[in-house]
Amino acid sequence: MKALAKGGFPDVAQDMLNIQKAKLTGDYLHTSAIIVGEGQVLSAVNDVNDYAGPATGYRLQGERWEEIKNIPGALDPNELG
């Protein structure tokens, strides 16, 4: 990290330091954990899944749904056997 900072990449060095700090907390870094924003860790430990069955989870809507529906080269589900 020192080499990154001295080499003109202080932002990358800080990000690497934040990742190492997060690893030290142990419980946070498991398969589904992600690091967002200013080194904040989101995981099952601190960001509880509130899924309560069918039709209660995340649903794509609006512009993002249209973007995903129109992915070039996507297979038509009606043509799959």
Q: Is the pLDDT of residue 45 over 80?
A: no
Q: Rounded to an integer, what distance in angstroms lies between the CA atom of residue 28 and that of residue 36?
A: 13
Query: pLDDT band at 10, cuts 50/70/90?
Result: very high
Residues 56-71: tens digit of each pLDDT: 777 888 998 999 888 8
Beta-bridge partners for 35? 41
Looking at residue 40, what is its pLDDT? 78
Predicted TM-score (pTM) of this structure = 0.39
Residues 19-30: tens digit of each pLDDT: 787 777 665 566
Looking at residue 4, what is its pLDDT? 92
Q: How many CB atoms lie within 10 A of CB 7?
A: 10
